[in-house]
Amino acid sequence: MKVLNIGSLNIDYVFSVDSLVKRGETKRAESMKVICGGKGLNQSIALRRAGMEVMHAGVIGMDGLMLKEILEGTGVDTTCVQEGPEKSGHAFIQVNQSGDNSIILYPGANETLTMDLVRSWLDKCDPQEDVVLLQNETNLTAEIIEEAYGRGFRIAFNAAPADASVKEYPLEHVTWLFMNELEGMMLTGERIPMLMIKSLRQRCPGVELIITQGDQGSMIHSNGLNHMIKALPAEAVDTTGAGDTYVGYYLMSRMCGEDALEAGKTATAAATIAITRSGAASSIPSMQEVKEFMSEQ
């Protein structure tokens, strides 16, 4: 049993600032770091650190070999990471003193996927055992959902970053749909998570819905029941990657037999640890750390 994550691979430039830059403002950064990121890469690392077997599939440029190396160093299978002529994806991230962030994303090689590549990746997996994970940082997302669904795969989709195109995706074909409040608002036009769930239930009956709400916790709709998971107290250093950590740990927990409520608690604990550390991939805890943290709550 494994996860095939057809996901983004980015080189992140992280700037520490006293406050996020406003329109027309020029601001001096207190520090700058270059790290590996992308929702796809972060979620693969979160899944692997949670104990799941992971195969990452995606495209990098010649400038992106370090992205492949960090995945391999974490134990992720990179057989399906291809190198292409386009520059790798890049993200430019501001992080303020409260840990809040603002991100500019350049997709680069992440948007050079072809369906021939996708089919070759799916051919390496077993629809009876494996799960396909997607985010909205590559091209062909709707087509990949249709292809994977047609083959009988369970599909997890993180609707981030959300844009108008997501409304047209065949979301009724996914098994797990992850979103934050802004993404839920984009999909439904609603501002209250309970109303988001009501709207999505009508469109996607049977889909497990997970809405993360930052320091308000998360809401999960599964098997006709709604679960509210409270956030855990923590001093935020950097919230970048916390949502990806949640996705990875939640999906691992569900695939390994935990119910939605327990999966939500495990994912919340992992994300809480992540926000107390700087960086994205580098902030993701191991399962042992999560277990120890949960035992102290």
Rounded-to-integer distance, Cα 154 and Cα 251, Å = 11
Other residues' Cβ atoms within 10 Å of the Cβ of residue 192: 12
Pick from 214, 281, 276, 239: which is nearest to 96 by CA?
Answer: 239
Label residue 296 exposed, middle or buried (CB < 10 Å: 0-12, 13-18, 19+): exposed
Do residues 185 and 157 lie in contact, with contact meaning Cβ atoms separated by under 8 Å?
no
CA dihedral 139, 143, 145, 149 (to 10 degrees): -160
Rounded-to-integer distance, Cα 180 and Cα 166, Å = 14
The secondary element (H helix, E strand) that includes residue 269 is helix 260-275
Reply yes or no on whether 116 is catalytic: no
DSSP 23: T
Q: Are strands 176-180 and 208-212 parallel, antiparallel or unpaired?
A: parallel
Label residue 24 exposed, middle or buried (CB < 10 Å: 0-12, 13-18, 19+): exposed
Query: How distant is the alpha carbon of residue 87 from its chain centre?
Result: 22
Structure tokens at 23: 């329109």
Other residues' Cβ atoms within 10 Å of the Cβ of residue 97: 11
Catalytic residue among 77, 163, 244, 259: 244
Active-site annotation, residues? 244
